[in-house]
Structure 1
Amino acid sequence: MSTLSLEPTAAGRAFPLPERWLCGLLVLTLLWDLSGLDMAVMRAIGAGHGFALREQWLLARALHDGLRQAMALAFLLLCGWALWPRASLTRRERMTVALLAALSLLAVSLIKNTGLTSCPWDLQAFGGTARWVSHWAWGQADGGPGRCFPGGHASSGFAFLALSLPWLAPPAGVVRRRTAGLRWLAAALGVGALAGAVQTLRGAHYPSHTLWTLLICAGVSLAGWRLAQAGSHGPAIARVRHGWREGLRLLRPLLVPMACTLAVLWLSRLGLSVWQADRVSHERAWALLLGQGLRFDGVLLGFIWVLPAAFTPWMALHRRTWHAWTAFLRVYGGLALLLIGFMELATPAFVAQYDARPNYLFVEYLGYTKEVGGTLLKDHAAHLLAAAVLLPLGAWAFARLSRAGTPPTPPRAWQALAWSALLLVSLAVAGRGALGHRAANPASAALTSDHLVNELPLNSLYTVAYAIYQSRKSEAGITYAELPRAHVIERVRRETGLPDSAFTRDDLPTRHWQATAHPRARPLNLVIVLEESLGAEFVGALGGLPLTPNLDRLAREGLWFERLYATGTRSVRGIEAVTAGFPPTSAVSTVKLAKSQRDFFTLASFLKPHGYESTFFYGGESHFDNMRSFFMGNGFDRVVEQKDMPADAFIGTWGASDGDLFEVAHRAFERQPADKPFFALVFTSSNHAPFEFPDHGIELVEQPKGTVNNAVKYADHALGRFIERARRSPYWENTLFLIVADHNSRVYGPSLVPIDRFHIPGLIVGGPIAEARRIHTLASQIDLAPTLISLMGLSGEHPLIGRDLSDPAQARRPGRAILQFDKTQAYLEDTPGGETQVAVLQPDAPARLMTYRDGQLRDHAGGNADLIDKAQAHARFAQWAYQERWHR
C-alpha cells in the first residue's frame, strides 16, 4: 500500500487514514445491529395499520422519486467528467472513480436482489404479512416479498464516496489539498443519509439498512481505489498497449463457451418453435420469441458467467495464473454447456407430457430413480438415445473450439480493474434482464394468452432454477396479491355459504360445525378409489372416448358429478384436495411440506374419533411423493403397498396392477369386523406411463399395447370387476364408494389455463345410495370431503372450505372451482346468466378476467372486480392456512 502525502492538521497530527474510518464504521454498524434498535425506531414511526408517511408527497415524490432521478443524472455527469479530455485529475483516476461508483451501486443491487429480508412495511406488526427475520439469517424467508436489504435508495448517494478518494488518498508522491475531498465526502454522506432517512420514515428500510449500504459502498470504493493504486507503479516492465486484439485474446475463454451456449439455446428454441408453429403463429409471437429469447438467454449467461468473467482480467496479470485459469474455464464452461444441453434435450418430452418447459416437477421426479428410470427406458428411449449421442458429440466439439490460443499481454492493474468492472456490470445487467427496479422473471415474457408460447422464449435451465428459487423462498408459494388478513378470512367464510354462527374458533378461522343432512342409524364405511390420470376425455359418460363402459354404467346408479374439476396436475395435488379438502397453491403440495406432516386435517383424522380404522392401499412404494409419511402422520392407521402384494401379482414400473390392488383391498374389507367402521383410500397406478398391465381381461383398443387408451380401458375393467365383487359382499350395503380421478393424463392446450383438461369424473355409489342423481353444479375436488361427511351421517367440527353438494341449498348456489396450473391459478364461477367466468392469477402480473365457453378461454369484455377479489382471497388464504397451521 502506498504512503499518503497529506497536509498535517493544526495540531500537527496526520489526517486519519480512510481505512481507520472504515473500521470505525464497521464497529458502529455491528453495535447498532446488536442493540436491536431497528424495531424500536420503526415502532416509534409506524403503527399496526402501517406508516403514515409512506405516501406523503415530499418524501414519496420529491425526496424518493425526484432524488433518484437527480442522482441518475449525477452519475451520467460523472461518466462524462471521466471521459473529458482535460481535468485536474488524470483520466485514469477519473475512470477509476466512475467505475467504483458503478461497482458500489452494483454490489448493493446484487445483495438486495438476492436477499429474502422484507421491508418494515411488509411486517405483520405494520399491517403486512411477513414476520421479522434478521438480515443476518441469510437465506431464511420471512413470508414477505424480500429484496429489501441493504438500502438501494441510500446507495444513490453513498456510491459517490469514491469522488473523495483522489484527494483523501492520492497516489504516492502526489500532494493535494484535502479540502476538496472532504467536501465530496460530506456531499456523498449527506445525500446518502438523506435518502436513507426518507426511506426509514416511509417504512421502507430499517436504519441498519442505511448503515450497511454505507459500509458496502465505502468498502468497495476504498478496496478498488487501493487496488488501482497498487497497479499504477512498481517495476517497469515492457508492456504492449492493450488494444482490441489483446482484448479479444483476454475475452476468448469467455466468448467461446458463451457463443456455444447461445447456439445450443437457439437451436433448441427454433426446434420447439417449429414443432409448436401453429400455436406461435396463432398468437403472432415470432417477434416475442426473438426479443424475449435473447433477453432470457442473457439472464442465464449473466448468472453463469458474471463471477468467472469478473475474475478473468485479474488472472491475466501473470502468465502462470492465466494458464491455470483458462484450464478451469474450459472445464467450467464445458460442464455448464453439458447441463444446458441436457435440459434442452429433456424439454420436448416434458412439453409433450405437461405442456410446459421443465419446472419444479422436473426436480421432484429426480428423487424417484426407480419409477422415473423405468418410465424413461420404456416410454422415452428415443430421447435417451439422442442424449447419449448428442451430449458426448457436443462435449467433443466444445473441447476443440475452446483450445487455448495465444495468451494476452498481461494488462496493468488499472486496465484489469476496468475490464473487470465492465464485464461485471455488463453481465450483472444481463443477469437482471432489466434496468428497472425489478429484475426479469418468467412473467416478463408472459405476453400472450397461450402459456406454452409464453415459455418458449425462456430456457429450461432457467425455468428449473427459478422454480427451485421460488420453492425455497416460501413453502406457501406465490403471493398473487396482498390483502388484509381480516378481509381474506371474511371473504373465504362467506363463500362457504355458512352463517357466521357456524364458525367456532378465531384462531382457526374456517373451523366450523357441520351437521349432517343424512342421519344414519349406524356409521357408514367409506372407500375412496383415486383413479390415476382419468380425465373426462376418456370417459364416455362425460362426452369422451368410449373407453369406460363400467364407469359409464355406474354413473346411472349413484351421485354423478357432471362438472367436477381437479385442483391440479399431479397426484399429490389430487390427494391433498380429495382426502384433506385443501385448496391448491403454486407451492409443492402439502403432502410433501414440513408443516403438514402432523396435525393436518384429513378425512382419516376426522373419522378417527368416530371409531374408524383408516388404511391407504397403493400398488407402488408408498414413500413416493412422501405419501406414507403424510398419511401416517395425519390419521391413517396402516399402509398396504407393493411389498404387501401377493407373489403372483403383476408388478410394473409403478407397482402392482389395478386388478391385483383391488383384490387385496377387497379381501381386507371382507375381513373387517361388522361393528368396526373403516375408511380406505385405494390409489391406482395402471393408467400411468409406460402403461403396463396384465395381458388378460380386455380387448385392446389399439396397437401397441402400452398406450393410454388401452390403459384406461384396463383400469375401467379392473374397477368394474371390483365394484361387482363388492356388490356381492356383506360390506356393500353399509359402504359409500367415491370414484374420482386425481387429475388428467396430460394437461395441455393453447390457453393460459387449459380448463377442459382439468375436467374429471366423480361418482358416489354404494348400498346406502337409494336414488341416482346427476349433479350439474360446477364443483371442485375440495367439495368432495364435506359432501362425503354429510352422506356418511356424521356431524362434527372441521376446517374445510368446500361445500356439501348433497345439501340442496348448497347445490343451488353458483358453483366454483379452483385450478392450479404450474404458477398460474384460475378461479372459475358460474354466473346467474349461465356463463362461467374465470379470474386468472399470474405472478407479478395483474389478474385477468376471462370467460370459459365451449372449451375455450377468452378475455371477458366487462369487469367483475368481485370475482377477482374472491380469487385473490382464496389464493392468499391457502398460503396462510398452511403457514399458520389453520387446517386442523
Structure 2
Amino acid sequence: MSTLSLEPTASGRAFPRPERWLCGLLALTLLWDLSGLDMTVMRAIGAGHGFALRDQWLLARVLHDGLRQAMALAFLLLCGWALWPRASLPRRERITVALLAALSLLAVNVIKNTSLTSCPWDLQAFGGTARWVSHWAWGQADGGPGRCFPGGHASSGFAFLALCLPWLAPPAGVMRRRAVGLRWLAAAVGIGALAGAVQTLRGAHYPSHSLWTLLICASVSLAGWRLAQAGSEGRAASLVRGWWRETLRLLRPLLVPMACTLAVLWLSRLGLAVWLADRVSHERAWASLLWQGLRFDGVLLGFIWVLPAALTPWMALHPRTWRAWVGFLRVYGGLALLLVAFMELATPAFVAQYDARPNYLFVEYLGYAKEVGGTLLKDHAAHLLATALLLPLVAWAGARLSRAGTPPAPPPAWQALALSALLLVSLTVAGRGALGHRAANPASAALTSDHLVNELPLNSLYTVAYAIYQSRKSEAGITYAELPRAHVIERVRRETGLPASAFTRDDLPTRHWQATAHPRARPLNLVIVLEESLGAEFVGALGGLPLTPNLDRLAREGLWFERLYATGTRSVRGIEAVIAGFPPTSAVSTVKLAKSQRDFFTLASFLKPHGYESSFFYGGESHFDNMRSFFMGNGFDRVVEQKDMPADAFIGTWGASDGDLFEVAHRAFEQQAADKPFFALVFTSSNHAPFEFPEHSIDLYEQPSGTVNNAVKYADHALGRFIERARRSRYWENTLFLIVADHNSRVYGPSLVPIERFHIPGLILGGPITTPGRIATLASQIDLAPTLISLMGLSGEHPLIGRDLSHPAQAARPGRAILQFDKTQAYLEDTPGGETQVAVLQPDVPARLMSYRDGQLRESASGNEDLIDKAQAHARFAQWAYQKQWHR
C-alpha cells in the first residue's frame, strides 16, 4: 500500500505523532470498556431514585444549556474565520478545519440517533424502565428510549479538534509552531471533557460515552485532514489508485469467503423460492424476496466478519503477522462457509416437516442424536446423501478461491486505523440491517400473510441464531404487548367465566375453588392416552382420511370434541397443556424450563392429596425433552419407559410400538389395588417419522409401509385393541379415558397461522360415561384438565384458566382457543354470528384482526379491539405465570 509521508518533523519520526495519540486514545477507550467501570462510576453518583445533580442549576443551566449555546456561537465564529479574506492560515486549510468540525458533529449525531443504548437515568437501577445493555451488544434493545451513545454534549468541544491540526500536522515542507496547535488541542479536549463530565454527573452519559465521542471526532478530523493534504499536493489521483490496489490485496482474504457465502445463500434462497414459487407468486413477493434477502445476508455477514475485518488492516503492518493472519482467515472463513452451507442444505427437509426455516427446534433436536439420527437415516436418506456430497464440494471450492494472493505492502498505521474504522462501521451497519433506531429482525421481512414466504428472505443460520438469542433472552418468551398487571389478571379471571369470589389468593391470581358438576360416591381413575401427531385430517370422524375406524367408532360412545385445538406443534407443548393446563408462550415449553421442575401444577400434583398414584408410560427414553424430570418433580410416582418393555417388544427409532406400550400399561392397571385410585399418562410414539411398526399388524393403507398414513392406521389399531381389553377389565367401570392428540403431524400452510393444522381429536369415554354426546364448542387443550377434574367427581383449588366444558354454563359460553405457531400466537373466539374471529400476535408488529371460516384465514374489518386485548392479556399472563410461579 502506498505510504503517505505528509509531515516532515524536526525529529524525523516515521510515525506521525497525531496518529500515535489516536492509537493511544483507542487503546484507552477499549481498556475502559473492558474494565466495566461505567456502572461503578454511575452507582457512585446516582441512587435508586435517580441522580441528585440532574437538575442542579450550575450543571443543567450553565454548563449544559449555556455551554451548548456558547459552542454554537464558537462554531459560527469558526465558519466566519474560515471565510475571512486575510488570516495567518491559507483559506483552504481554514475551510477544511471548519468542514471537519461539522463532519465530526454529524458523525456523532448520526451514530447517536441510531443507537439502542439508553442513558443511565433511564435504567431501572436509577428509577427508570430500561435494563443495562452494553453498547457493544449491537442490535439489542434495553427497553428504554435509546439514542444515548456516544455523548452528544461532549462533541460540542471535541468537534473543534481539527483546529490543532494545521500546527501539529502541517502540509509537507511547512514548519509551524507546535505550541499553538497544542493550545488548541488542550482547549478542545478540555471543553469536551468538561461537557462530558457534566453529563456524567447529571446521569445523562457514562464516562465511556465521552471517550468514544473523543475518538470519533479525532478519527474524523485526522483522516479528513490527511486526505485534504493529499488532494492539495496534487497526489490524490495516484494515491487513490495505489491505495485502491493495495486495499483490494489486503481485503482479498475477507472478500473471497464473504462472496462465497453470499453465493451459497443466494443459490439456496433461489432454490427454495422456485420450489415454493406458487406461494411466492400468490403473495407477489419476488421483489421483496430479493431485496430483503440481500439485507439479511448482510446482517449475517456483518456478525460473522465484523471483528476479523476490523483487525485485518492492523495485521498487515508486519509481513510475519500477515502470513499467520491470512492462514487464520482461511480456516475461519472456511468453517463459516461450511456452517452456512450445512444450514442451507438442512433447510428443505426442515421446511418439508415444519413449514418454516430452521428455528429453536433444530437446536433442540441436536441433543437427541439417537432418535434424530435414526429418523434421518430412514426418512431422509437421499437428503443426507446430497448433503454429504455437496458439503465437500463447497469446502473444495472455497479453499480453491481463497488461496493466498499477492501480499499487500504494509500500510502506514494511520491508514490501517482509518480502514479498520471504516470496516468496523460498515459491517456494524450491515449487521444491524438498518440505519434507523432499531435493528432489523425477522419482523422486518414479514411483509405478507404467508409465514413461510416471510421467512424466505432470511437465512437459516440467522433464524437459528435469532431463536437461540430469543430463548436465552427470556425463558418467558416474546412480550407481544406491555399491559398493566392488574388489568391482565382481571381480564384473565373474567375469561374463565368464574365469579370474582371464586378466586382465593391474591399471590396466586388464578387459584380458585372448582366444585365438581358430577358428584360421585368415589373418585374415578383417570387414563390419558396422548396420541403422537394425530391431526384431524387423519381422523374420519372429523372429516379426514378413513384411517381411524376404531377411534371413529369410539367417538359415538363417549364425549367427542368436534372442535378441539392443540396449543402448539410439539409434544412437550401438548403435555404442558393437557397435563398442566398451562397456556402456550413463544418460549420453550415449561416441561423443559427451570422454574417449572418443582411445585408446578399438574393433574398428578392435584390428585396426590386425594390418594392417587400417578404413572407415566412411554415407549421411548423418558429423558427425551426432559419429560422424566418434569413428571417426577411435579406429582408423578413412577415412570415406565423403553428399558421396562418386554424383551420381545418391537423397538423402533422412537421406542416400543404402541401395541407393546398399551400391553404394559394394561397389565399395570389390572394390578392396581382396588381401593387406591390411579392416574396414568400413556404417551404413544409409533406415529412419528420414520413411521416404524410391527410388520403384518395391519392391512396397509398404501405402499411403502413407512408412511404417515400407515402409521396412523397402526396407531388406531393398537388403540382399539387396548380399549377393547380395558372394556373387559375390572378397572373399566371406575375409569375415565381421555384420548387426545399432542399436536398434528405437520403444521404448514400459506397463512400466518395454519389454524386447520391445529385441529385435533379429543374423546372422553369409559364405564362412567353412560350418555354419549358431542361437544361442539370451540375448545383448547387447556380446557381438558378442569373438565376431567369435574367428571372425576373431584372438587378442589387449582390455578387452571381452562374451562370445565362438562358444566352447562361453561359450555354455553363462546368458545376460545390459543395457538402458538413458532413466534406467532393466535387467539380464536367464536362470535354469535357463527364466525370465528382471530387475534394474531407477532413480535415487533401490531396485532392483526382476522376471521376464520371454511378453513380460510382472512383479514377482518370488525374492529374488535376487545379481542386483541384478550389475546394480549392471556399472552402476557402466561409469561408472568411462569416467571412469578403463579401456576401452583
Q: 2: CA distance between counterparts of 1:297 and 1:527?
A: 50
Distance 1:674 1:654 in 2: 33
Q: Structure 1 81/460 Cα, relative in aligned 2: closer, same or farther at 3 Å? A: farther
| 8 Å CA contact retained: 2:3, 2:412 | no
Task: Please state how far the C-alpha of 1:319 moved relative to its aligned partner.
Answer: 1.8
Separation (CA, whole Å) in 2 of partners of 1:853 and 1:547: 26
* Superposition deviation, residue 127 in structure 1: 9.6
Q: Deviations over 1:50-72 (max 9, x none)?
A: 99999999999999999999999
Q: Aligned residue for 1:852?
A: 852
Contact persistence 1:96–1:418 (CA under 8 A) = no
In structure 2, the CA distance between the partners of 1:21 and 1:456, relative to structure 1 (3 Å rule), is closer
Deviations 1:439-460 (CA, angstroms, capped at 9, x unpaired): 1111100000000000001110
The structural deviation recorded for 1:165 is 7.9
Q: State the Cα distance separating 1:788 from its structure 2 match.
A: 0.9
Q: CA 1:290 to 1:208, structure 2 compared with 1: closer, same or farther past 3 Å?
A: closer
Q: Which string of whole-angstrom CA distances, capped at 9 and with x for unpartnered residues, describes residues 729-761 of structure 1?
A: 111111111111110000000001101001111
- Give the conservation status (yes or no) of the 8 Å contact 1:106–1:425: no
Q: Is the 8 Å Cα contact of residues 2 and 171 (structure 1) preserved in structure 2?
A: no
Q: 1:383 to 1:727 in 2, by over 3 A?
A: same
Deviations 1:618-645 (A, max 9, x none): 1000000111111111111111100000
Contact 1:376 1:384 in 2 (8 A): yes
Q: Check conservation: 1:597, 1:629, Cα contact below 8 A.
A: yes
Q: Cα gap change, 1:329/1:605 in structure 2, threshold over 3 Å: closer, same or farther?
A: same
| Residues 243-270 of structure 1, C-alpha deviations (whole Å, 9 max, x = no match) | 3222221221111111111111111011
More off after superposition, 466-475 vs 243-252: 243-252
| Correspondence list, 1:671-820, <5 A | 671-820=671-820
Q: Distance in 2 between matches of 1:97 and 1:746?
A: 65
Secondary structure of the corresponding residue to residue 765 of structure 1: strand
Counterpart CA distance in 1 for 2:510 and 2:163 is 59
Query: Which stretch shows the higher mean deviation, 348-357 or 329-338?
Result: 329-338
CA distance in structure 1 between the partners assigned to 2:435 and 2:114 by the alignment: 16
Contact 1:99 1:418 in 2 (8 A): no
SS in 1 for 2:238: coil
Structure 2 CA distance for aligned equivalents of residues 101 and 635 of structure 1: 70
Residue 154 of structure 2 aligns to a residue whose secondary structure is helix
SS in 2 for 1:153: coil
Structure 1 distance, partners of 2:35, 2:392, is 57
Per the alignment, do residues 714 and 521 of structure 1 end up closer, same or farther by CA in structure 2, a change over 3 Å counting?
A: same
How far the C-alpha of 1:420 sits from its partner, in A, is 1.5
Q: TM-score, normalised by structure 1?
A: 0.84
In terms of mean alpha carbon deviation, does 79-88 or 788-797 score higher? 79-88
The change in CA–CA distance for 1:58 and 1:397 in structure 2 (over 3 A counts) is farther
**What does residue 34 of structure 1 align with?**
34
Question: Cα 1:145–1:831, aligned 2, differ >3 Å: closer, same or farther?
Answer: farther
CA distance in 2, matches of 1:360, 1:178: 60
User: How far has the Cα of 1:417 moved from its partner?
Assistant: 1.8
Q: Distance in 2 between matches of 1:335 and 1:11?
A: 47
Residue-by-residue CA offset, 1:451-490 (whole Å, 9 max, x unaligned): 0000001110111111111111111111111111111111
Q: How much has 1:832 moved relative to structure 2?
A: 1.9
Task: Give CA deviations for 1:752-789 in whole Å, capped at 9, x if unaligned.
Answer: 11010011111111111121111111111111111111
Tell me, yes or no, if the aligned pair for 1:698 and 1:714 is still in contact at 8 Å.
yes
Q: Is the 8 A contact 1:536 1:544 kept in 2?
A: yes
Report the CA distance between 1:592 and its aligned residue: 0.7
Residue 501 (structure 1) shift? 1.2
Listed one character per residue, the Cα deviations across residues 655-686 of structure 1 (whole Å, up to 9, x for unaligned) are 00001111111111110001111111111000
Deviations 1:847-881 (A, max 9, x none): 11111111111111231111111111111111111
User: Could you tell me how far apart the structure 2 residues matched to 1:362 and 1:674 are?
Assistant: 46
1:646 counterpart SS class? coil
Give me the whole-angstrom Cα distance separating, in 1, the residues matched to 2:22 and 2:406. Answer: 42
Report if the CA contact (8 A) 1:53-1:201 is conserved: yes
Structure 1 residues 511 and 620, CA, compared in 2 at 3 Å: closer, same or farther?
same
Match runs of 1:17-28 below 5 Å: none
Measured in 2, the distance between the counterparts of 1:62 and 1:826 equals: 54
Q: Is the 8 A contact 1:360 1:467 kept in 2?
A: yes
Which deviates more, 403-412 or 718-727?
403-412
Conservation of the 8 A alpha-carbon contact between 1:780 and 1:818: yes
Residues 154 and 365 (structure 1), Cα distance of their counterparts in 2 relative to 1, 3 Å cut: farther
Hey, what does 1:447 align to over in structure 2? 447
Cα offset, 1:373, TM superposition: 0.4
Q: Which deviates more from structure 2 when the two are superposed, residues 414-423 or residues 120-129?
A: 120-129
Residue 16 of structure 1: how far off its partner (Å): 20
* Aligned partners of 2:374 and 2:653 also within 8 Å: yes
* TM-superposition CA deviations, 1:25-81 (whole Å, max 9, x none): 999999999999999999999999999999999999999999999999999999999
Does the C-alpha gap of structure 1 residues 441 and 196 become closer, same or farther in structure 2, counting only changes over 3 Å?
A: farther
Q: Secondary structure at the match of 1:78?
A: helix
User: Unmatched 5+ residue regions in structure 1?
Assistant: none
Return the alpha-carbon distance in structure 1 between the equivalents of residues 112 and 533 of structure 2.
Answer: 43
Give, in whole Å, the separation in 2 of the partners of 1:119 and 1:666.
64
Asked whether the equivalents of residues 232 and 414 of structure 1 are also in contact (C-alpha less than 8 Å), the reply is no
Secondary structure (helix, strand or coil) at the match of 2:477 reads coil
Shift of 1:698: 1.1
SS of 2:731 mapped into structure 1: helix
Post-superposition offset of 1:513: 1.2
28 and 421 in structure 1: CA distance in 2 versus 1, 3 angstrom threshold: closer
CA separation of 1:849/1:711 partners in 2, compared to 1, >3 Å: closer, same or farther? same
C-alpha distance 124-304 of structure 1, shift in aligned 2 (>3 A): closer
Question: 1:529 is paired with a residue of what secondary structure?
Answer: strand
Asked whether the equivalents of residues 577 and 584 of structure 1 are also in contact (C-alpha less than 8 Å), the reply is yes
Contact 1:5–1:170 under 8 Å retained in 2: no
Q: Mark the CA change 1:401 to 1:40 in structure 2 (over 3 Å): closer, same or farther.
A: closer
Q: How far off is 1:330 after superposition?
A: 0.9
Deviation at 1:713, TM superposition (A): 0.3
Deviation at 1:653, TM superposition (A): 0.2
The whole-number CA distance in structure 2 between the counterparts of 1:143 and 1:568 is 28
Give percent identity, aligned residues only. Answer: 92
Following superposition, the deviation at residue 712 of structure 1 comes to: 0.2
Shift of 1:886: 1.1
In the superposition, relative to structure 1, how do residues 128 and 400 fare at CA in structure 2: closer, same or farther (>3 Å)? same
Alignment partner of 1:243 is 2:246 = no
Q: Contact conserved, 1:615 with 1:681, CA < 8 A, in 2?
A: yes
User: Structure 1 pair 64/545, CA: closer, same or farther in 2 (3 Å)?
Assistant: farther
CA distance in 1, matches of 2:73, 2:845: 30
CA distance in 2, matches of 1:376, 1:31: 49
Tell me by how many angstroms 1:337 deviates: 0.5
SS at match of 1:858: strand
Runs ≥4 residues deviating over 4 A? 1-241
Distance change >3 Å, CA 650–CA 29, structure 1 → 2? same
**Number of residue equivalences:** 888
Aligned partner of residue 243 in structure 1, secondary structure: helix
Q: Aligned in 2, Cα 1:255/1:827: closer, same or farther, shift over 3 Å? A: same
> Is the partner of 2:857 in helix, strand or coil?
strand
* Partners of 2:476 and 2:883 within 8 A in 1: yes
Q: Given that residues 535 and 758 in structure 1 are in contact (C-alpha distance below 8 angstroms), is that contact kept between their aligned partners in structure 2?
A: yes
C-alpha spacing 1:732/1:295, structure 2 compared with 1 (3 Å): same
What's the CA shift for 1:571? 0.5
The answer on whether the counterparts of 1:814 and 1:831 sit within 8 Å (CA) in structure 2 is yes
CA contact (8 A) 2:515 2:790 kept: yes
User: In 1, Cα distance between the equivalents of 2:361 and 2:98?
Assistant: 45
Distance 1:229 1:881 in 2: 65
Assess, with a 3 A threshold, how the Cα gap between structure 1 residues 563 and 249 changes in structure 2: closer, same or farther. same
Q: 1:178 to 1:825 in 2, by over 3 A?
A: farther
CA offsets per residue over residues 149-191 of structure 1, 9 Å max, x none? 8878988987887877887999999998899989988998899
The CA deviation string for residues 116-175 of structure 1, in whole angstroms up to 9 with x for no partner, is 998779877999887789999999999999998887898898788787788799999999
For residues 469-517 of structure 1, give each alpha carbon's deviation from its aligned partner in whole angstroms, at most 9, with x where no partner exists. Answer: 1111111111111111111111111111111111111111111111111
Give the secondary-structure state (helix, strand or coil) at the position aligned to 1:193.
helix
Pairwise CA distance, 1:696: 3.0
